[in-house]
Structure 1
Amino acid sequence: MTEIHTPRLLLRRWLDDDLVPLSEIHADPDVMRWVGDGAPRSFEETSQDIEAWEEEWDEEGFGIFAVELLGSGELAGAVGLYLADSPPAIADQVAIGWRLGRQYWGQGYASEAAQATLEFALQDRGLDRVVAVCRTSDTASANVLDKLGMRATGTAQDPDTGHDLRVYGIDLTEYEA
């Protein structure tokens, strides 16, 4: 079972007990406003998300981690890698993404988890490149991407929602652990 320990977090595969707390995170409109179409997700949709993430782990050898606080065991959210299908600018590339419960914002957890995930991608999984997208108005995610050393490489438009996106990328040769 793939696990990553950081100073404050455990990144791990999903457990049955994670469904309720992740559903609560997904039900928060403030959390979900930057994800997909911005709509909160139902309990059933969250269950389907976890199932799909676990399938990607089995098929690709990477996926979305559950983010657990080491001190309390609380589920703080999700971070990880996925094979992007959209927008076309990053289709078929490995992308990094995250979402954390609102009470965990502003404490450096997203940067800590994303840094560990990027290191996992480039060093453990041997990927040559990782990409990301965020809405142009999502300054918090852009700040995390900057901290990761990812560079803005262009813009795109989400074909499903019409949102303007900034595209980021980092190659193994540019990565500094």
Structure 2
Amino acid sequence: MPETVLTWASFVAAVFLILQTGRAGRSPGLKPSCSYCLAGWGDQLIWVQTYEEALYRSRSRNKPLMVLFHREDCAQCQALKQAFAKNKEIQMILDKDFVVLNLMYEITDDNLSPDGQYVPRIIFVDPSTTVRGDIIGPYSDRMYTYEPTDIDELLKNMKKAKNLLEFEI
């Protein structure tokens, strides 16, 4: 009898530790530990770490996904980062209504580069995993780029992505 109790107690302790360890990186009060995820774009946001995880969370939470492509050595990206991080409305909407993915590298899904691979680039994806080609920035030669002066346009497009979700899906 004591062996069974000891085995059962060990099992319960192991499950508890696994659950606590898994929860540590996902608690809303904790920030992700990877510096490439945050990179100053919104340190309070919960940034997912892979495109696959982003698609899963978007589907399971029925929230649009915003994918942000940038590079640290890009002056335009750094200027956009400052404007993006300072805009409280953008930060609030992203925190409440979006799944967010911050990438400093290209991925193999060509749907995320419909008009080429450049930075900065912001693509919206709905929970059905459809890249929203109809939500574009103000430039015809790089349709998914935004400059610091385009923050209002980005905010408008974020609201559009959110509203389309309510009406189309």
Structure with the higher fraction of residues in strand conformation: 1
Is this a same-fold pair by TM over 0.5? no
Return the TM-score normalized by structure 2: 0.29
Name which structure has the greater RCO, CA cutoff 8 Å, separation 6+: 2
Of Structure 1 and Structure 2, the greater helix share is in: 2
Query: Could you say which structure has the larger radius of gyration?
Result: 2
